[in-house]
A and B are shown apart, each in its own frame.
Chain A
Amino acid sequence: MRLAVFGAALVFSCAASGQDVAKEIQRYRQMVAEGSPAELFELEGEALWKKAQGPKNGSFERCDLGEGPGVLKGAYAHLPRYFKDADRVMDLEARLLYCMSTLQGRSRDDATARVFGSADRPSEFELLSIYVAGQSRGVRIEPGMAHPKEKASYELGRALFFHRVGAWDFSCASCHGEEGKRIRMQELPVLYKPQYARPVMASWPAYRVSTSQVITLQWRMNDCYRQMRTPEPTFGSETTVALIHFLTATARGETYGGPGNKR
């Protein structure tokens, strides 16, 4: 059945107009979002946050996400931001990686051995992300924009967004630069414009029903570059954080409403 479910390009009769198709797909997505099991992963993420592990046998309960050690309320909505202890701008996942090193004593190799998980076994970053992000529901999105390194990160992110590169000459704007465009049936938000970035950034990370997987922004950057036919961006690197920073800053002022649900 999996083959049929995941591989087949099924074709419908041309009786339905394009508009009807779009309307019905909208309805599908709404019903899917209403019946999403995303909340289950917040529970698993919470347990992982509190679990002591690594050579230092530490949990994340002392991890400072920018609002003070262990403070979760609103922390996600204020990322990415500059961290003095690391002297760099970090998004949630880069910061979690930092805490795995400092509080749990884990090596980068150990901590990043499996950054993107599967439906059978979500990764630590996925479970932690969905739990931490859930603690920012109802908080306004305000990433750091004051420190010079925060400004530089935002600028780099915007330059990357329009930078054409790779075997197929794409930039992020190739797909997300013009209004009213789709890939297959997927509408493409124009992510450098606030009115499009706001609802999108307010709903990441997310549970993706089609693959039963939790997906994070680091995964989203990674998989976009995969489809842009470039080499792979390193997890939590300045490049990925800068893009996430640019997108989040473009969405600032929006109330965070995630974790979300994707088709």
Chain B
Amino acid sequence: MAAGPMKMRANLGSGFTDVRVLMTHPMETGLRKDPDGKIVPQHFIQNLTVKVNGKTVIDAQISQAVSRNPVFSFRLKGGAKGDKIEVSWLDNHGESAAIEAAVA
């Protein structure tokens, strides 16, 4: 499966902003066999970046042990309606994607 769509929600909580981001990705471990018995090559997201109004607030490195179609929740200090949140990822094949949303 190629990487598909992403989805994100950013909501103002009490004293922080709740960010939930969903990404379509197979997160192949490289240990799994397909129905024909062939090893499915490793294919997984390695880097994840969260930015608020253009400034990086979280940098993450992840492994193939994160579940398929990853879902992450983060919390940002304070925040205001309309703040621009951007999440991007990069995988071990050099593929990447990004999504933007405004805090609601």
Which residues of A are at the interface with B, using a C-beta cutoff of 8 A?
Answer: 1-2, 35-37, 39-40, 43-44, 119-121, 209, 212
Contacts and interface: CB of A to CB of B under 8 A. Distances in A.
Q: How large is the interface on B (under 10, 10 to 19, 20 to 34, 35 or more residues)?
A: 20 to 34
A212 B68 contact: yes
Contacts of A44: 4-5
Contact of B5 (A1, A35, A40, A120): A40
Interface string B59-73: 000000101111101
Prevailing SS type, chain A contact patch: loop
B24 interface: yes
A37 B71 contact: yes
Contacts of A39: 7, 22
Contacts of B33: 2
Contacts of A121: 1
B47 interface: no
A1 B4 CA distance: 24
Contacts of B88: none
Contacts of B24: 37, 40
Prevailing SS type, chain B contact patch: loop
11 contacts: A2-B33, A37-B23, A37-B69, A37-B70, A39-B7, A40-B23, A43-B5, A43-B7, A119-B68, A209-B67, A212-B67
B1 A1 contact: no
A40 B1 contact: no
Contacts of A43: 5, 7
Q: Which 5 A-B pairs have the closest CB atoms?
A: A37-B69, A2-B32, A120-B1, A212-B68, A1-B31
B7 A1 contact: no
Contacts of A37: 22-24, 69-71
Contacts of A120: 1, 26
